[in-house]
Structure 1
Amino acid sequence: MESVPSNKTKDNKTNTDQATNTPVASEHMDSVRYEQLLNESPTTYDLFKKGHDINPDAPALSFFLQGTAYKENETFSYAEMLTEIHQVGNFMDTLGLEDDAVVAMLLPNLPECYSVIIGVQTRHIIMPINPLLEPEVISELLATAKARVLVTLAPFPNTEIWSKAKYIAQHVQSLAHVVSINMADHVLGKKSLPAKVLQKRQDIIENDVTALLFGSKAGLPNHINWHNWKTAIAKQPGDRLTFENNKSKRRNSLDYSSFFCTGGTTGRPKIAKRIHKNEVSNVLQVRAALGDDLVGNGKNLLCGLPLFHTNAVMVTGMLPFSLGSHVVLATPQGYRGEGVVANFWGIIEQYQINFFSGVPTLFSSLLNIPIKTQDVSSLQYCLSGAAPMPIEVFNQFETQTGMSILEAYGLTEANCGSSVNPREGERKIGSIGQSFPHQEMIVAILEEDGLFRPAKVGEVGNVIIRGDNVFAGYYIDSQNKDIWLYDTVEDKQKADNNQLNPAKRWVNSGDLGYQDSDGFFFLTGRKKELIIRGGHNIDPKLIEEPVYKFGDIEICAAIGKPDVYAGEIPILYVQPKTGASIDKKALEAYCQDHIGERAAIPKEIHIIDEIPLTPVGKVFKPALKRLANVEAVATLLNEHNIAADVTTQEDATYGFITCVKVTDPNQLETAKHLAGQFAIALDIR
């Protein structure tokens, strides 16, 4: 018998003494040094300036447009990037907006993204948006945050972003300015001129022939001020921030820096408010955990995660920039760009990459791309986060490549990262590691009125976090209900009266887990019911709420079904009203048209007689998860002609585990290998 609980092992559980916050060994940065650096860099701009000052002529950022032509790149020095950051900040200042104005960024991964993010933060609040969201959802988010400026992509063949920008401009009343960036500027060599011609043609198609005279302004409402990116920032000084000595304009550590949208439990993404101190402190905490030598000056880091996600912005952005390192940005679509995975090891060799951050689906894909003649000896570590890493994928990747994966954990509400397996010493496969230095992460048993008791070693509870990195709360105040926890009744009372230092409160991650006697954390499930598809959070309500409007549906429930590649895929269970029948194809078409996020459209729809309910009448999703797990495992084994009995059974730690009894003992190892690719708790025998 082999027990393979997803990314966890029960051997570490003793369930005796109280667990404690045991951070990764912090010899890389003690508390005195941490506080010193935190005071020296109150904002993200100051953090970037620190890296710039190490060597202004060093390469800061390289970008290649296509994975099939990864050797063709643009490279920007720290001096060039700082110039553009100054120009962006100065341009934003000339718009005459209120101090806490929100500037939305709706872009694919382009070099300008980093300058937009840091430049906007020198004066206002940046709000990166997922371009794959439907325009109605984006408009709702921007209207909620009262966005004043939208930085987006100019019309370009085979892109939909400008059409979304036009919709947003018509529906977000607070919006006053649209700034467009031309992707044709990044097409190099002989293709440059044809790309510019095609871009102008697309401008006319999407806006009007008057775009020849007025540019993309032709497609926008009259009240919107349109700005061409290159023209707008070229007019601004690049040697300094013109307002740097104006205390009423310069941002400080407690000012809002960014609004990131995060998958929540209320249907639409929630808007998480973060201050500069959250972002700067978390960069320093990562450095304390991993050491400056891993990602510091002279190192090359690959960025392929989307820059609307905090992981890409912080781990492969502000972290290396703070140390004068070199970031290589891979295609507008990141790792999903055509040819990126197929040429991955060539990219590592070409740019002598030392470190990259990815999600489990990337590592799973790379198992199919053998290292041939490429020299990848520069690559030291890979960081995996955003979703559980199947143990089988973990083991196969390290065996096949000889590289070390550091599995980590974090959430937008705690800025980005909160735990990681240590570089030095023991790594525990299946664990999300130990907490970062200079923040606290523990497992808690929740009590009434926002109080808790620390869990014992091995006792499953809620993972909670506090520290300088913890966010300021959600934009909509009602969404902050029940997310904060307090050490004492007195602290809770002070918080109710707005008299408590925010650093003393804990944020409830919503994730369930336990801590072993060495301080390593193991996740056992998610109390919140998010579906994690390829590291991207999907709220089930984003699927369920529109489906209820289809008609003749009594109950519906969306869950995540295990998937070898994506980790989970969204599927939908539907119970018709009594006496009604549902046309499955019509419902599938309806979902295509009415679910506001492409990634959330169910990959499967199951019409069943009765959806399981709790005694109080709520949908009991664990029962549906059991069905989905059994089907996923059984289908995979059947595809490989392995006969097995697949069931589930109750489990005190994980709620339930999926049990596989293989008929032919000679196929047992193959079955373990195949089923082990799922990030679920398994018992295979």
Structure 2
Amino acid sequence: MSADTLWPDARSPHDVAIIEQVPLQSRGLPASTYDLVLRAGRLWPDRTALTVLPDGADYLSNATRTFGQLAADVTRSAKVLQYFGIQRGDAVLLISPNCDELITATLAAQAAGIAVPINGSLSTEHVTQLARLSGARVLITAAPDLDPAGVRRAAALVDAGLIDTVLLLRPTLAAAAPGPLPVVSGATIAYLSALADEHDDQPLDGAPADPAQLAALFHTGGTTGTPKLAAHTQGNEVTDAWMVAISADLDDDAVIFAALPLFHVNALIVTLLAPLLRGQPVVWAGPLGYRDMSLYQNFWRIVEHYRLAAMSAVPTVYAVLAHIPVDADISTLTSAVSGASALPDTVRLDFHNATGVHLVEGYGLTEATCASARSFPDHPRTGAVGQRMPYQHLKIVEVGDDGTWQELPAGQVGTLVINGPTVFPGYVTGRTDDSYLLDGRGALRDGWLDTGDLASVDDDGFVYLAGRAKDLIIRGGHNIDPAVIEDALLAHPDVTAAAAVARPDAHSGEVPVGFVTVRAGATVTGDDLTAFAAERISERAAIPKTVTVIDAIPVTDVGKPYKVPLRATAAEHALTDALAAQPGVLHIIGKVNAGMPTVALTLGPGADHTAVERVVKSFAVNHEIHHE
């Protein structure tokens, strides 16, 4: 397979049509992520693959491995998993902060079976739910010197009858020898690295993985806040990683920076598998990633020291970095990609003014593996989050009341749907003796994925997002796109993030309100921003009734914007205003109950219960009434 076939030119929007003239199956991609790892070890055995920092403060220290060493370590660790009975269809839970050994363990889990990376900050209830759904019996987690909560989580899963084998990971550059193994009654427990040293690095025996077999189960909360397990095939991950690699427009020796947690698809696809395909070195942040304050303090020196060329992060990270004085030579940094939520123009401008680097957006979702659209720094398209990636097909449909889809012409706003080799096979709903039961849960139709996002697509395949379908604000039967309000608020120079939601209204059903975060030291008020938005929104019904300044826009446990708490707060404000003249109303609190915005009211002895209930019911909002 020639290099030109595997690595076509993808530098301009016109290249996508040329790339697709060659069938994807003729590109010569590895069949599985393990094949991808072995290929990197063969092609670049002595080239540095990974540089892992212990933390942001001690950034000059690091653990390094070549592509050859990584392939050997992945093979040895996969053999450990096989020893404990893991076969191709078996799941392995991974719950740990990022560290050198977690990279190996994640790839090994996909080589031997199916990786199930889980965010350790999820609630115990959610972790247990996901573990039970996965059917995993083996857990890879943090040793006490990496994260003291690791063994506690393991014990809880063992007590629940879910896990019988616990393999521990050490911190990057662990200074001391491992301590005595903690006791987890009812389970075998060992250090993964110690067991791996007992195995050779000859490639795994047995039939190679098929692209259609499962590689991973990633939890995703969408905007509901309740995690689900989305299945990824080996072909999903390898193909999407290749699409990212050809789209990055970076030299083979370009150094990539990685700081997102490995339970996030971006960390696996964009900063692990894609560089492995291209032979590019990656510098990994410490276990706290972008939550490490010392990382920000030293970030520009890290760019200079490791000659970083590219990074990927969420808008809030760039908002912080834009205000960290550049105290080093960062001329190697040419690519900075933003995703996961809308990129405010304020953040884009501040980051460019501070660094000279243009932020570009991308678009993707776990159900389409990771990335589905990319931007071109040299070919900007105002307002777009990017052009569809090769072999992924996008269209806009109108979803009828009866659930039917009607395709809309280019430029019209509707529901964005995706088809192609990165679309997942479904969510895990159960398990038989030898396989998982997968169901699209309404998201899949004839191979097309309903993203739940409102958007338009132009004739060149560029995507213009317009909000979430379920986030539409319906005022007296009139549909209001929250993005119209959010874009107006984000145009203010002090606003760093914005969310528009529906507030219940006794007369119109719903009215729009806004919530924003502002830059440090800003004195702008909610009233100022309400007036500011009103001047920029031509649709009178879409002008927000109020704008509230808050500390942070809520996100789900998997890091996606989560508007349900804001709708609960909006409902609280609405009822507080409506009941201001009612005696005996002691407390009104907006909260989330079973994933729904709910208002809890506490009434005292002097309250007219009938009158209060009449007012509350007129708002058609979920509510609880307590009496003192």
TM-score range, shorter chain: 0.7 to 0.9
The correspondence for 1:369, drawn from 316, 324, 331, is 324
Aligned 8 A contact 2:499 2:514 in 1:
no
Amino acid corresponding to residue 71 of structure 2 in structure 1: L
Aligned 8 A contact 2:55 2:292 in 1: yes
Aligned partner (choices 197, 215, 221) of residue 263 of structure 1: 221
Match of 1:434 in 2: 387
Change over 3 Å in CA distance of 1:517–1:230 after alignment to 2: closer
Point out the more displaced range, 152-161 or 468-477: 152-161
User: For 1:421, which of 366, 375, 381 is the aligned residue?
Assistant: 375
The residue number in structure 2 matching 1:482 is: 442
Q: State the SS of the aligned residue for 2:359.
A: strand
Structure 1 pair 156/614, CA: closer, same or farther in 2 (3 Å)? farther
The one-character-per-residue Cα deviations of 1:471-523 (angstroms, maximum 9, x if unpaired) are 0100026963321234xxxxxxxxxxxxxxxxxx1000001111245432111
The yes-or-no answer on 1:308 pairing with 2:267 is no
Q: Within 1, Cα distance between the matches of 2:532 and 2:516?
A: 6
Q: Counterpart in 1 of 2:230?
A: 272
Corresponding residue number in structure 2 for 1:333: 288
Residues 1:523 and 2:465 are matched in the alignment: yes
Q: Identify the match of residue 51 of structure 2 among 38, 42, 62.
A: 62
2:524 matches 1:638: yes
Change in 2 beyond 3 A, CA 1:455/1:153:
same
Match of 2:284, SS?
A: strand
The within-5 A match list for 1:100-139 is 100-139=89-128
1:247-272, Cα deviation, whole Å (9 max, x unpaired): 2xx32111000000001466520100
* RMSD between superposed Cα atoms in Å: 3.6
Tell me how far 1:52 sits from its aligned partner.
2.6
Describe the SS at the equivalent of 2:57. Answer: helix
Correspondence for 2:314: 359
Distance 1:48 1:411 in 2: 24
**Other-structure match for 1:178:** 166
Residue 102 of structure 2 aligns to a residue whose secondary structure is helix
Distance 1:343 1:658, change over 3 A: farther
Match status 1:446 vs 2:396: no
Comparing both structures, which one devotes a greater share of its residues to helix?
1
1:117 alignment partner, SS class: helix
Distance 1:390 1:27, change over 3 A: same
Q: Report 1:277-296 matches (<5 A).
A: 277-291=235-249, 294=250, 296=251
Mapped contact 1:107–1:153 kept (Cα < 8 A): yes
> What does residue 385 of structure 1 align with?
339
- For 1:463, the equivalent position in structure 2 comes to 416
* Equivalent-residue separation in structure 2 for 1:612 and 1:136 (angstroms): 35
Matched residue SS, 2:190: strand
Structure 2 residue aligned with 1:238, among 201, 211, 215?
Answer: 201
Q: Which residue of 2 aligns with 1:25?
A: 15
CA distance in 2, matches of 1:69, 1:655: 53
Q: 185, 208, 221: which one pairs with 1:221?
A: 185
- In 2, the alpha carbon distance for the partners of 1:157 and 1:465 equals 40
Q: Distance in 2 between matches of 1:631 and 1:154?
A: 37
Matching of residues 485-496 of structure 1 within 5 Å: 485-486=445-446
How far apart are 1:233 and its partner, in Å? 0.9
Is 1:506 the equivalent of 2:496?
no
Q: Do the aligned residues in 2 keep the contact of 1:121 with 1:257 (CA within 8 Å)? A: yes
- Quick one: distance in 1 between partners of 2:516 and 2:35? 52
Secondary structure at 1:364 match in 2? helix
**Are 2:81 and 1:92 aligned?**
yes
Residue aligned with 1:69, SS: coil
- 1:311 deviation in Å? 0.4
CA distance in 2, matches of 1:42, 1:614: 58
Q: Deviations over 1:100-122 (max 9, x none)?
A: 11101001111122211211111
CA distance in 2, matches of 1:32, 1:152: 43
Q: Deviations over 1:387-435 (max 9, x none)?
A: 11001211221232111222100000000000011244x2124320110
Distance 2:210 2:337 in 1: 31
- Pair 1:232–1:652, CA change in 2 (3 A): farther
Equivalent residues of 1:146, 1:175 under 8 A apart? no
- Provide the rounded CA distance (Å) in 2 between the counterparts of 1:54 and 1:382: 28
Q: Within 5 A, what are the aligned runs for 1:191-210? A: 192-193=175-176, 200=179
Spell out the pairing of 1:573-584 with structure 2 (5 A cutoff).
none
- Once residues 164 and 435 of structure 1 are traced to their aligned partners in structure 2, the CA distance between those partners, rounded to angstroms, is 40
Give 1:522's aligned amino acid.
Y
Tell me the equivalent position of 1:205: none
If asked which structure has higher relative contact order (CA below 8 Å, sep 6+), I would say 1
- Give unmatched runs, 5+ long, in structure 1: 1-21, 201-211, 487-504, 531-560, 574-609, 662-678, 680-685
**Secondary structure of the corresponding residue to residue 424 of structure 2:** coil
Matched-pair contact (CA < 8 Å) for 2:218–2:231: yes
Q: Aligned partners of 1:653, 1:417: CA distance in 2, in Å? A: 33
Structure 2: how far apart are the matches of 1:654 and 1:388? 24
**Aligned counterpart in structure 2 of residue 146 of structure 1, from 128, 135, 141:** 135
* Paired letter, 2:407: P
When residues 401 and 439 of structure 1 are mapped into structure 2, their CA distance, relative to the original with a 3 A threshold, is same
